[in-house]
Amino acid sequence: MTKKLSGAAIAVRALEDEGVPFTFGIPGTHNIELYDALGRSARVRPVLVTDEQSASFMADAVSRSSGRLGCANLVPGAGLTHALSGIAEAYLDNVPLLVLGCGVRTDSGKAYQLHDVDQMAMVRPVTKAQLRPETGSDIYATIREACRITREPPAGPVFVEIPVNYYLFQHDPGLDAWPRSQPAPDDAPPQDLARALDLLSGAERPLLYLGLGAAGAGAHLVKLAETLEAPVATTIQGKGVFPEHHPLWLWCGFGAAAPRFARRIAEHCDLLLAIGCRFSEVGTGSYGLQPPGPLIHVDIDEAVLGRNYAADVPVRADAASFVAALLRRLPARNRDDALRETLRKGHGDVLAQQTKPGGGELVSPTNLLRALQNTYGPDTIYATDSGNGTFLAMEILRLDNPRCFLAPVDYSCMGYSVPAAIGAALACPDRRAVALAGDGAFLMTGLELLTAAQLGIPVTVLVLRDGELAQIAQFQQTALARKTASQLPDYDLAAFGQAVGVEYLELKDPKHTAAILREAHAIHDAGRPVLLEVAVDYSQATHFTRGVVRTNLGRLPWRDRARFLARALGRRLPRGDG
């Protein structure tokens, strides 16, 4: 006879069998039995956070950085609503995430219970599925099923609500109720593969556009690019999927939000092969790109095919199997030295422009991030935040592997970077994790440095100080010639670091950039978190910002375009004293 277990012990067993390394959350009256069971587990570590929003961001980063499944462990009601921002971020960015929720008692017959709200209705718009076990014996199978669904492409968060009374009492564990079948690979239909090969064979210069969904193809993506001798652009989420030091790498994007050289190269291509991407608003710079010639769109999610850009050949397939099938059939093209030289020169010109002295005394983002990469090494994980920091890092960092760039893209949630870097540091202890936080975003979740200090998690947090919400302020200044409610109140980061027990460094003088970063690196590698305040120079707008402004202005009717331009120009003109 099978030994009965408490619902809490059954839940932990399911997490252990799924290889879930951590749960992030704050214990409450409804899940103390679960926390007690977690405290006895040798394989799942419960991590206490300061706020459940951070719990969802940390869990998200575990999934993005390591490939293991992140889990947010939430009390009913406020615990869930606090975490909704991170759940929605994972949903729109296609990140696998187990949201382990707790429900009120179902055995008391009483109404108006503590935290009693319709949680299933709350999470329905931002999760792939919402599951609730029918009995305590169903807990194991329900959690295992949730983990299968969240990982299954297209990935996304799944919510499981377990009533508190199930945790309290003992049940048959139901370990044999879980089917252990493996899904079959998703190969491209032969007719779609044939049509794609036919178009590729007739193209003189195809362009590759790779999203995060292409990551499973691994090194075969390099072989594909070299076989086609094609320039390669990526989405923001796909940064690092194709090595950015490769001579065929173009840019993150290729439309109006890319530099001029990248736009020109893309315009001279005559076919676009897009793999593992959705052509989302942010990734395309507000839909500011157009496929050069026919579009072959490959994705595991049939719903995205042709959704924003009409595809001449839509292909529902797994990226790895599709690329492998192409490589078995495609003849290799001759190396195009002229194309490679144009790419090399274009990147050199962009770098020269980015590093051109501005005459100020603030720290150049380009010099900062290049020195950061040189100091921290090629395997470092970078967590960015919503806004200017993401686009600067996207344009300046050169990454050669996936799972190195964690960015809140399609939900664009402020406050992501600090907890995400902590989650990545926990999940990948053999790699360094760095947060690039704007000074506005830091105000939202910077308190999680207390968590890092208490647990001894080595993480480097750069707070890019400019005193305003930089991305919005730049949009306002460019389009409106006026900034409203985007200037931040001052605050004392040194005092903050002292309050939470984190070592603090300050970088104001550009001449000290390398030395200060070496000092931060030494603290990090000694196993301690470090907070670095950087007086950053945001005077040079990113290609992304300029491109998005041009794209959206260009869509306006002529009358409204003239009105907006006249307003901005009028506000820039000097006014008399009379």
* Domains defined along the chain, listed by start: 5-177 (3.40.50.970), 190-344 (3.40.50.1220), 359-535 (3.40.50.970)
Question: H or E stretch including 429?
Answer: none
Per-residue pLDDT at 556: 82
Report strand pairing: 5-6 vs 170-171. Answer: antiparallel
Count other Cβ atoms within 10 Å, centred on residue 224: 25
Per-residue pLDDT at 578: 42
Q: Answer for the pair 11, 37: CB distance below 8 angstroms, yes or no.
A: yes
Q: Which amino acid is at 136?
A: G
Q: Answer for the pair 253, 289: CB distance below 8 angstroms, yes or no.
A: yes
What are the residues facing 363 on neighbouring strands? 536
226 Cβ contact list (under 8 Å, min separation 6): 248, 332
Per-residue pLDDT at 566: 81
Token couple for 186: 């998703």
Q: Which amino acid is at 168?
A: L
Return d(Cα 487, Cα 499) in angstroms, integer.
25
What are the residues facing 297 on neighbouring strands? 274, 314
Q: Is 22 helix (H, G, I), strand (E, B) or coil?
A: strand
Residues of the chain with pLDDT under 50: 578
**CA 221 to chain CA centroid, nearest Å:** 21
Q: Is 291 helix (H, G, I), strand (E, B) or coil?
A: coil
Q: Answer for the pair 2, 10: CB distance below 8 angstroms, yes or no.
A: no
Return d(Cα 420, Cα 407) in angstroms, integer.
9
| pTM score | 0.94
Return d(Cα 363, Cα 365) in angstroms, integer.
6
Return d(Cα 185, Cα 166) in angstroms, integer.
37
Q: First and final CA of the chain: distance in angstroms? A: 95
Q: Which amino acid is at 169?
A: F
The owner of tokens 């299968």 is 148
Per-residue pLDDT at 182: 61
Distances in whole angstroms, Cα of residue 122 to Cα of each of 50, 75, 125, 502: 22, 14, 7, 37
Return d(Cα 236, Cα 46) in angstroms, integer.
31
Distances in whole angstroms, Cα of residue 569 to Cα of each of 477, 547, 556, 562, 564: 11, 19, 17, 10, 9
Question: How many Cα atoms sit within 13 Å of 240 on the Cβ side?
Answer: 22
